[in-house]
Structure 1
Amino acid sequence: MEVVALLLNWMMMKMMDPMADEAMAKMLTEDYPDNPFLMVTVAEKLSPRAIMEAAMRAELGKELTRPLGSPIVLSPWEKILLNPKQLFQLPYPDYTQVDTKTVIGPTAKRPLQLDIPIMITGMSYGGSLSLLMKMALAKGAAMAGTSTNTGESAVTNEERDAAKYLIGQYHRGGQLSGQEQLSRLDAIEIQLGQGAWGGAVDEPMPANKIGRHLRQAWHLEEGQGNTVYARMPGKQTPQDYINMVNNMKAQYDVPVGVKIAGTDYIEYELAVIAQTQADYIVVDGSEGGTASSNPTLQDNVGLPTFHTLVRTIDWLKENNLRDRFSVIIAGGLTTPGHFLKALALGADAVYIGTIALMAAMQTQVAKTLPQAPPSQMALYTGKMTDKLDVDKAARHLANFLTSCTVEMQLATQAVGKQALKDLERGDLVSIDRDLSEFANIRYAGSHRQSQGDAIRQESRDQSRNQSPEMQLH
């Protein structure tokens, strides 16, 4: 067999060699109009992604549906670093004792108390993920002591049974509503928009994409499609939304929150939410993922996650409202470093989505590659959803969350804090002057005074402020 393999390899090389020689000669001698190298310069000008998406649009003649979000990341997380302490202040003595717990809606009758501040974001059964993947996410999150989220769908027995803490989205499609559904939740999230959809737009789902189990979960008739609308049906004014939130809060003991996409109108949106009795706010930056929004909405609409978070926290503090609301940030957060920096900027917890899917599928992606992308095993419309091993996916997600948590504990120990919730902007420094000014964190290019210098400067300042008579004495 080894001889046959060597022979085949030799034959292939012999066949390819003349073709490679001819192509190389053509690229080195022909003018651009007849030179294959032209495609390289075209790709540099247009980008391979633009060329591929142009070809898809030319073939389909309709909007594209790009899973898992935009490749454009504008949040400058890599320009921010944490500040460790070693001698003038000492590190926290035991990283294993760094507290990782967080509470969402602490003033609610039944606050949501989580072991870690990393939560699984809203990814719906049907509109986004397969039932098996939803079960895996719920089970993995439960193993790590955190929550999962229904997304724009309904509560299914399968997801509820697998989850320890289940947040449900009361959303613009109406599938999750009524006492029977809402009473099964550990928190209610009124979903008014999301980053990857550019806020809130119509999201239709034709009847032929809705299977029997999903149709039953959504209480649809045979042949009936479904639409998640740009606004809640029947709501015509901001006051209608304020009343809706307050009515929900009056009916249920669990935390009630509002989710919006980050936009340059974020302060205006927060001013409306501040008129409600909501317990928490979810702000979703433009780098968030989704199953099916189009590239234009993903790449060109909204506000980056970093800027969304900073402006949200700043506005709440300026209006003495920070203690009234828990804040969850979402949108393209992928590493323990991202999570730590978001907490230090003021978030109480972070939502993750795409990275959770990648962690859950781990080596199972080999079941789809190279014939198909891993999304075919995760998405509801995927052709290989039955190949997912739920228990293995749950275990890998739990391992990922555990790994992230330990790394976050170690970094927090270095910073000298004893709890993740103690992180603050003073624990951050930026290498970008404009970024430092915007986020109100130190610029790495400016020197700190030594402690001795600071004490002497304070003494001089006090001396200058004394009266001339006192200075003489």
Structure 2
Amino acid sequence: MLLSWMMMKLMDPMADEAMAKMFTEDYPDNPFLMVTVAEKLSPRAMMEAAMRAELGTELTRPLGSPLVLSPWDKVLLNPKQLFQLPYPDYKQVATKTVIGPAAKRPLELDIPIMITGMSYGGSLSLPMKRALAQGAALAGTSTNTGESAVTDEEREAARYLIGQYHRGGQLSGREQLSRLDAIEIQLGQGAWGGAVDESMAADKIGRHLRQAWHLEEGQGNTVYARMPGKQTPQDYIAMVNEMKAQYDVPVGIKIAGTDYIEYELAVIAQTQADYIVVDGSEGGTSASNPTLQDNVGLPTFHTLVRTVDWLEENNLRSRFSLIVAGGLTTPGHFLKALALGADAVYIGTIALMAAMQAQAAKALPQAPPTQLAMYTGQLADKLNVEMAANHLANFLRSCTAEMQLAAQAVGKQALAALDRSDLVSVERDLAEFAGIRYAASRRQYRQPAAVEGIQYQPQELQLQ
């Protein structure tokens, strides 16, 4: 009590002086000026300006852009109650998905939620990669190497492992590629605005990672903007087809969403790939700079709609499985993406948050939770792998159960059966773009003509 009283006595004159200054002084000498400056510039712009002034180099903002332009909240699912009945048992709603059904060894997953590419070394620590692999395995889904190599630790922990054949070259050759359940040729990602050079200094690469990447002592690493040795789109087409001829597992292509998405798809259509991954601008990463994250690319929602539409218009939708990524965080997002035409969704940042869960307290408030997850994180060795894996699995199970309930409400017996007729938008332009109903447009119906001796059945109602 005495200490509290003394603190109040000390603080009271300072508070009085500050208040008097704010209420009486003109702006040039008034501390309240910082409030108006923050309103004009935004606190984020001010903090990033200070960081740039201190460092003199590009910033590396983990986990992606704070700008979410995909209008998921303006799209809703359509439940059915009487004219058509809900599905009888939500627990029986099928959740399985197949990636690359035409491949010799299709990737069959229990749920359509997959862990996206987050690399060991370039992004995450080995303990976090193990936790993601174990958690995904417990939930019956896949994890992804990201722009790294296949490590024994991740391969042993994963039930299904997708590997990225990427622009840095660490994952290549039959020894690596033959250990995978699917091969993903990574040509870009949303948080980087597509494809740019990404470098990692030699002094940031530890012994285990150096061995995994087959680097010499003192040798750094670069992921290039294009595949080394590839000069034309035809070079990429040949590369994909050669990969497809060599391996039985599904071979896919990952690209970032841009306003040239149809041009990119036209090139992919000339390959024998089994699946396509489109990554919207809301995607996260460990080290992309704010300019690329905030200002380059196409939002995930628009990327997905345009991709599905182009494939359907060109009679190609059945040829490719489609995975969408970029800022998807809730079961509602996942459901709407499936209804718009995706076969599965990739998640990254939200998976990390779920995995760290209460362990984030080991870092907070002195440091952000990312210090538990990142390769360069000062607390990476404090992560409890088993706990993180179980929390991720619980998150995936919870999401799946909620998705089954929503599918039951709209009268579908499988998540894969969702389509755009199950969606409605509260914005006219958005509804027109996505090919779904506008919420302010009333439905019209006509009752079938009565037939003598036959009782009218509600499911015969003809909707328009």
TM class, shorter-chain normalised?
Answer: over 0.9
Are residue 192 (structure 1) and residue 193 (structure 2) matched? no
Distance 1:156 1:28 in 2: 62
Distance 1:14 1:105 in 2: 71
Per-residue deviation, 1:267: 0.2
2:215 matched to which residue of 1? Answer: 220
Give the one of 78, 97, 113 matched to 1:118: 113
2:270 matched to which residue of 1? Answer: 275
Distance 1:11 1:314 in 2: 69
Alignment deviations for residues 416-464 of structure 1 (CA, whole Å, 9 cap, x no partner)? 0000000000000000000000000000000001343xx58xxxxxxxx
Q: Report the AA paired with residue 347 of structure 2.
A: I
Distance 2:3 2:354 in 1: 38
Give the one of 257, 279, 290 matched to 1:295: 290
1:340 matched to which residue of 2? Answer: 335
1:463 matched to which residue of 2? Answer: none
Distance 2:116 2:39 in 1: 35
Per-residue deviation, 1:193: 0.2
For normalisation by structure 2, the TM-score amounts to 0.96
Distance 2:445 2:102 in 1: 42
Aligned residue for 2:102, secondary structure, equals coil
Aligned residue for 1:174, secondary structure, equals coil
2:314 matched to which residue of 1? Answer: 319
Q: Report the AA paired with residue 46 of structure 1.
A: L
Q: Report the AA paired with residue 169 of structure 2.
A: G
1:439 matched to which residue of 2? Answer: 434
Per-residue deviation, 1:187: 0.2
Unaligned runs of 5+ in 2: 450-464
Aligned residue for 2:60, secondary structure, equals coil
1:41 matched to which residue of 2? Answer: 36
Q: How does 1:60-459 map to 2 (within 5 A)?
A: 60-452=55-447
- The percentage of aligned residue pairs carrying the same residue is 86
Aligned residue for 1:380, secondary structure, equals coil
Distance 2:181 2:195 in 1: 25
Per-residue deviation, 1:11: 1.9
Per-residue deviation, 1:7: 2.3
Distance 1:373 1:159 in 2: 25
Distance 2:159 2:354 in 1: 19
Aligned residue for 1:231, secondary structure, equals coil
Distance 2:446 2:381 in 1: 62
Per-residue deviation, 1:95: 0.2
2:452 matched to which residue of 1? Answer: none
Aligned residue for 2:302, secondary structure, equals helix
Distance 2:300 2:414 in 1: 24
Aligned residue for 1:418, secondary structure, equals coil
Per-residue deviation, 1:338: 0.1
Aligned residue for 1:401, secondary structure, equals helix
Distance 1:406 1:342 in 2: 17
Q: Report the AA paired with residue 394 of structure 2.
A: N
Alignment deviations for residues 155-213 of structure 1 (CA, whole Å, 9 cap, x no partner)? 00000000000000000000000000000000000000000000000001110110000
Distance 1:252 1:140 in 2: 27
1:466 matched to which residue of 2? Answer: none
Q: Report the AA paired with residue 176 of structure 1.
A: L
For normalisation by structure 1, the TM-score amounts to 0.94
Aligned residue for 1:272, secondary structure, equals helix
Per-residue deviation, 1:293: 0.5
Give the one of 15, 19, 22 matched to 1:24: 19
Alignment deviations for residues 245-279 of structure 1 (CA, whole Å, 9 cap, x no partner)? 00000000000000000000000000000000000
Distance 2:332 2:11 in 1: 47
Aligned residue for 1:307, secondary structure, equals helix
Per-residue deviation, 1:19: 1.2
Alignment deviations for residues 48-81 of structure 1 (CA, whole Å, 9 cap, x no partner)? 0000000000000000000000000000000000
Per-residue deviation, 1:382: 0.8
Q: Report the AA paired with residue 252 of structure 1.
A: Y
Aligned residue for 2:277, secondary structure, equals strand
Alignment deviations for residues 56-110 of structure 1 (CA, whole Å, 9 cap, x no partner)? 0000000000000000000000000000000000000000000000000000000
Distance 1:8 1:217 in 2: 57
Unaligned runs of 5+ in 1: 1-5, 457-473
Per-residue deviation, 1:366: 0.4
User: What is the root-mean-square deviation in Å for CA atoms of aligned residues?
Assistant: 0.7
Q: Report the AA paired with residue 263 of structure 2.
A: Y
Q: Give the length in aligned residue pairs.
A: 449
Distance 2:4 2:381 in 1: 37
Aligned residue for 1:287, secondary structure, equals coil
Q: Report the AA paired with residue 278 of structure 2.
A: V
Aligned residue for 2:61, secondary structure, equals coil
Distance 1:20 1:162 in 2: 57
Distance 1:157 1:419 in 2: 35
Per-residue deviation, 1:234: 0.3
Q: Report the AA paired with residue 395 of structure 1.
A: N
Per-residue deviation, 1:302: 0.2
